Amino acid sequence: EMSEMSERSKQNVAHGLAWSYYVGYLKIVLPRLKKSMEEFSRDNLNLLACRKTWKLHILIPLSCDVYDDLEKADSNIQYMTDLTETTLARAGTKKRVYKHSLYVIRDEENQLWHCAVEYATPLQSLYAMSQDECAAFSREERLEQAKLFYRTLEEILKGSKECADTYRLIAYEEPEEAEAHFLSREIVWHLRQEHQEEIAVLEGSDPHSPCTALDSAELNLQVSVSDLPQPLRTDGF
């Protein structure tokens, strides 16, 4: 009965996408990320001086509007290079390649910042479903799904020891009026916070957790605990 209620309200969609993204991708790549960043840093000492930025910065636009090319999303974001690839046999595919791209981001003072950044790809599925008559997602339902995806992913990653301190979720709502450099400003804000965290640690002070531009407390889903999606099976399948 709970499964049927969840399916009717479409709550299992975002919940399932978040778990799939974690188990099928993040849990594989994030534990290997620090090593790749360290290798790059040895060869490029001046570019990744702040170890707190040695993370995968995951963009979560609540509109689900995902660009395949970040440079087209914001001209202040420029591709630099790729980190070392991870190659694994996965689900019957030999030598499946996983890699991350490093970008140079220019802020409003023309200072350059470097980081690994990419969109959360499941948002593309949510957007496609809202355009498909079979899925019957309204724009409002898509927004709620995006919020639930973020909240679920945040909770999953918080409980993952393997992925600790290897990621930063950047959830945001785009302004109603288009701004050419909104995305770069959003990313730089988080990079500055990471720099402040590292400075606090080096100085021996107690670093305060920064208030993210959009944290989970602001994502008011109005979903009760009893309404949260439940597993469809309990026998391990």
Whether residue 210 is contained in a domain is answered as no
In the chain, what is the straight-line distance between the N-terminal and C-terminal CA atoms, in Å?
18
Domain containing residue 165: CATH number: 3.40.50.12100
Whether residue 5 is contained in a domain is answered as no
Q: Return the pLDDT at 234.
A: 33
The span from the CA of 1 to the CA of 227, in Å, is: 11
* Total domains, the chain: 1
Whether residue 212 is contained in a domain is answered as no
Whether residue 147 is contained in a domain is answered as yes
Q: What is the pTM of this model?
A: 0.82
Whether residue 48 is contained in a domain is answered as yes
Q: Return the pLDDT at 56.
A: 97
Q: Return the pLDDT at 10.
A: 53
**Contacts (Cβ under 8 Å, ≥6 apart) of 66:** 119, 121, 123, 124, 127
6 touches 230 (CB < 8 A): yes
pLDDT tens over the chain, length 237 residues: 444 544 455 557 899 999 999 999 999 999 999 899 988 988 887 777 788 899 999 999 999 999 999 999 999 999 999 998 888 888 888 888 999 999 999 999 999 999 999 999 999 999 988 887 766 678 888 899 999 999 999 999 999 999 999 999 999 999 888 889 999 999 999 999 998 988 877 776 555 444 445 554 455 544 434 444 443 333 333
The span from the CA of 40 to the CA of 48, in Å, is: 8
The span from the CA of 208 to the CA of 206, in Å, is: 6
Indicate if the alpha-carbon torsion angle 150, 155, 161, 165 is positive or negative. Answer: positive
Whether residue 17 is contained in a domain is answered as no
Expressed as residue numbers, the domain containing 116 is 32-204
Hey, is 178 helix, strand or coil?
coil
Q: Rounded to whole angstroms, what are the CA distances from 75 to 28, 81, 185, 235?
A: 31, 17, 12, 50
Whether residue 233 is contained in a domain is answered as no
Whether residue 44 is contained in a domain is answered as yes
Q: Return the pLDDT at 191.
A: 95
